[in-house]
Amino acid sequence: MATTTPETAVQVAAPRNRLIGPMPKIGIRPAIDGRRKGVRESLERQTLEMAGSVSRLLQSKLRHSNGLPVECVTPPTCIGGVAEAAQTAALFEREGVGLSLTVTPCWCYGAETMDMNPLYPKAVWGFNGTERPGAVYLAAVLAAHNQKGLPAFGIYGRDVQDRGDGSIPPDVEEKLLRFARAGIAVGTMRGKSYLSLGGTSMGIAGSIVDADFFEDYLGMRVEPVDMTEVVRRVEERIYDEDELARALAWVKAHCPEGRDYNGPRFERTRAQKDADWVMSVTMTLVARDLMVGNERLASGHGEEALGRNAILGGFQGQRHWTDHFPNGDFMEAILNSSFDWNGIREPFVFATENDSLNGVSMLFGHLLAKTAQIFADVRTYWSPAAVKRVTGHELTGVAAGGIIHLINSGAATLDATGRQAVDGKPGMKAFWEISAEEVERCLAATRWYPAMTEYFRGGGFSSGFLTLGGMPCTMSRLNLVEGLGPVLQIAEGWTVDLPEKVHEALSERTNPTWPTHWLVPRPEGRGPFRDVYTVMNNWGANHGAITYGHLGADLIALAAMLRIPVSMHNVAEDQVFRPSAWSAFGAHEPQGADFRACQTFGPLYGD
């Protein structure tokens, strides 16, 4: 049930699963030497305790993106051979397991005890001890996984532990959590939908929605819905009218309008703007209901009440909609935010211009980081020389090598203002960690500018704000390449602050009514990360998905599970974690090995 913060009367939604289908659980597989009459009996307790410690770790550290706790499933006995492996597999099917983690302190019979489910992401932790050869089993079972085409992540602690040491070393814990976060994301996407609201927007390739990609690589279906469905629901009032009234009152109180940059010839009247607000808010209700349904519609509109079970959505907007109706900026910004008139809740993931590939990148970030996601144009690289020529200012510090201007029509999450605090610094948080005061700060930092009618003839409102600097972030992008398939790009970096007059001078050269994020990717001095310019020059599309925090290593692990190669990243080598089979494709050339392994094993759900 929702709770209320008395000072501001902001509702905080209780964590819930708003999608159809169970949330994936983690299956813990305690493997053991099956020889009885002494060997197995001496190891049973240690092996089950090892499984228990892993289960407690994962359940204490992890949540689903909807805020509910992650559950682990452990069989009542260890797995010493084929029969117990089959019993465990049946248990996992009944319990809704989505990924499996085998743990052992000892030698076991590899091919007899391994997980054979082809859809589960898999990992094996072999205890680094001297009394029993857990590492020998790890090597043997990973060889079996590789030989059978069932890739698994190998986890082996750097330091030897004593037999009675039940602790989980920090390096092992890091890999266990990374595997679990990525594996949960895989299981969460499976069976869900992408709501394609409209078609191709302005010829943007990412909005040419590829159903085969969604089905083969993500296990998702594509649900195309024409934008006329929005018109029908608005005109026939297929939405919660009480909620609309409440939403409009909230907007009036919390969404102040900004300056109208349209000239007299293009400026809309006050009556038109008021009507635009009503339409924009109504569109938000309709899009949400299309994604996940609304039980309040069941009386009289049973079909519409069901929704499309969409974990991800996108809206074409331009130009077929926006030449006549208000733009979708308010709808997209509010859906992508962690709060609205109903209070604080899990953000939706909703792509501007129906760019499904950027939407998938946003979905990856949301499932891994649990935070709201930023959708932006990767608009302009500003070199230090160009900034100095235009403003007289010399970039210094993190920004000394130049900056990238991320900006798009005002559809970015309001969480991106940076007005939430993480360790006393600007940040973005999971919805269950956000306070009512932080919501108020995000809203206060945002202005809603009347849409520039040279772009949006039908009017509307665009959010405008400046993202605070100092936030670690990861920009990612999924691209489809003919003959290659999907590839992922990753760039970790930081947002930066500019002096107010410098920001204004640069922002006024483009569209000051839209959100601005000044980004500096972390350069490496080589390849596509030689400097900030080369990151911009190698980016594969006009859009990027930006996630708070440095989660490139998690994205790499997730991509490997889905058999999506990573074409560029700036993640430290010791943080890259992929299935053990990848090294067989070229241990000295990990990037090329990633491409070859993904091509060989093929998409997770493909033929």
Q: What is the pLDDT of residues 348-389, one digit of tens each?
A: 999 999 999 999 999 999 999 999 999 999 999 999 999 999
The domain locations on the chain are: 25-189, 193-601
For residue 1, the model assigns a pLDDT of 38
Q: Which one-letter amino acid corresponds to residue 446? A: T
For residue 411, the model assigns a pLDDT of 85
Question: Helix 270-292 vs helix 329-336: angle between axes, to the nearest 10 degrees?
Answer: 50
Query: Which range is least confidently modeled, 203-207, 333-337, 543-547?
Result: 203-207
Per-residue pLDDT band for 2 (boundaries 50, 70, 90) equals: very low
Residue 341 three-state SS: coil
Fold agreement (25-189, 193-601): no
For residue 607, the model assigns a pLDDT of 73
Sign of CA dihedral 140, 141, 146, 152: negative
Per the annotation, the verdict on 594 as an active-site residue is no
Secondary structure element (H or E) that encloses residue 463, with its range = strand 461-464
User: Rg of the chain over CA atoms, in angstroms?
Assistant: 25
Q: Over 60: is that where the pLDDT of 7 sits?
A: no
Per-residue pLDDT band for 8 (boundaries 50, 70, 90) equals: very low
Residue 447 half-sphere exposure, CB side, CA atoms within 13 Å? 15
According to CATH, the superfamily of the domain at 193-601 is L-fucose/L-arabinose isomerase, C-terminal (3.20.14.10)
Q: What is the DSSP string of 3-61?
A: EEETTTTEEEPPP---SSSPPPEEEEEEB----TTTHHHHHHHHHHHHHHHHHHHHHHH
Contact status, residue 458 vs residue 324, Cβ threshold 8 Å: yes
Contact status, residue 154 vs residue 123, Cβ threshold 8 Å: yes
d(CA 51, CA 36): 20
Q: Over 90: is that where the pLDDT of 215 sits?
A: yes
For residue 3, the model assigns a pLDDT of 47
For residue 164, the model assigns a pLDDT of 85
The pair of three-digit structure tokens given for residue 434, joined into one six-digit string? 């956000």
Q: Which one-letter amino acid corresponds to residue 17? A: N
Model confidence pLDDT, tens digit, residues 250-280: 999 999 999 999 999 999 999 999 999 999 9
Tell me, yes or no, if the pTM score tops 0.85. yes
Per-residue pLDDT band for 512 (boundaries 50, 70, 90) equals: confident
Per the annotation, the verdict on 241 as an active-site residue is no
Q: Over 80: is that where the pLDDT of 510 sits?
A: yes
Secondary structure element (H or E) that encloses residue 503, with its range = helix 500-507
In the chain, % of residues over pLDDT 70? 99
List of long-range contacts for 168-173, beta carbons under 8 Å, 24+ apart: 168/53, 168/54, 168/57, 172/125, 173/57
Q: Give the residue from 338, 369, 340, 350 showing the smallest Cα distance to 434.
A: 338
Average pLDDT, the chain: 96
For residue 9, the model assigns a pLDDT of 57
Per-residue pLDDT band for 576 (boundaries 50, 70, 90) equals: very high
User: Residue written as tokens 């296990």?
Assistant: 219
Q: Over 90: is that where the pLDDT of 163 sits?
A: no
State the pairing for strand pair 350-352/310-315: parallel
Q: Over 70: is that where the pLDDT of 493 sits?
A: yes
Using CB atoms within 10 Å of the CB of residue 437, give its burial: 0 to 12 exposed, 13 to 18 middle, 19+ buried: middle
Q: Which of 276, 353, 438, 531 is catalytic?
A: 353
Per-residue pLDDT band for 6 (boundaries 50, 70, 90) equals: very low
d(CA 84, CA 153): 22
State the pairing for strand pair 374-382/543-548: antiparallel
d(CA 371, CA 212): 28
For residue 5, the model assigns a pLDDT of 43
Q: Which of 276, 377, 438, 554 is catalytic?
A: 377
Per-residue pLDDT band for 492 (boundaries 50, 70, 90) equals: very high
The pair of three-digit structure tokens given for residue 536, joined into one six-digit string? 């911009």
State the pairing for strand pair 374-382/566-568: unpaired
State the pairing for strand pair 3-5/10-12: antiparallel
Candidates 3.40.50.1070, 3.40.50.970, 2.60.120.650, 3.30.70.20; correct CATH number of 25-189? 3.40.50.1070
Per-residue pLDDT band for 237 (boundaries 50, 70, 90) equals: very high
